[in-house]
Structure 1
């Protein structure tokens, strides 16, 4: 019988994420793992780590977050729908970052970018422009 602990991040609702961002934006970082569908904007406080190179760059992401001042306590992942890439990336991140970022809560944005954009596409505080897409 295996005693290995399986770690699975939970989902966060849009309104809960908005509440966290309104309360203390520096306490939250959002990791956008969209690939070729990285368009039409991005969430506030988001950084882009495409899923197609996510595992190659995972240690860089962990280091980037660990070096933030202050270190965010909430890390939210999403892709377009948050059904495959977002949850998979969040799980890998949680498994590999738990020793360096033990106090962080890792979750997945329910509904992903699609539902966020449908709800907030006219709100510039909730949908930010994509800058330097080619980087």
Structure 2
């Protein structure tokens, strides 16, 4: 029995080639009201406030997707928590399912948008003015 985390951390470069390819990767953005200002292209917004109510449907929708990556603004609390809950729910609902990589985006959307915010192939709904200090 493994006592490690049920997910791994990845950096942006590890997922870039999979963004916008739903057969390869699902991006789950668990930001709440802070979802404004942009998102990774094709990301599903499943707010952390509603995550427990939505996780079973999310597991079923992504049963055959090989990689699921979670993030919030910084991926320090909400993103990792959602990844853990998703992994536990997946094990419960689909105990015999094919293995799936469950990941958390290091640095969250804050770091991602700082690098790629204006790249329309990677980010949609970007509002630069919301990210300027």
Alignment of 1:9-24 (within 5 A): 9-21=7-19
**Alignment RMSD:** 2.1
Distance of aligned partners of 1:95 and 1:120 in 2 relative to their CA distance in 1, 3 Å threshold: same
C-alpha deviation, 1:8, in angstroms: 3.1
3-state SS of 1:119 partner: helix
TM-score, normalising length: structure 1? 0.81
* Aligned length, in residue pairs: 123
Q: CA deviation at 1:37?
A: 0.3
Q: Which runs of 5+ in 1 are unaligned?
A: 131-135
The TM-score, its normalising length taken from structure 2, stands at 0.82
Q: Which residue of 2 aligns with 1:53?
A: 50
> Partners in 1 of 2:101 and 2:48 — Cα distance?
20
Structure 2 gaps, min length 5: 127-133
Q: Distance in 2 between matches of 1:51 and 1:82?
A: 12
Structure 1 contact 73–105 (Cα < 8 Å) conserved = yes
- How far residue 95 of structure 1 moved from its aligned partner, in angstroms, is 1.0
1:133 aligned partner? none
Secondary structure at the aligned position of 1:31 is classed as strand
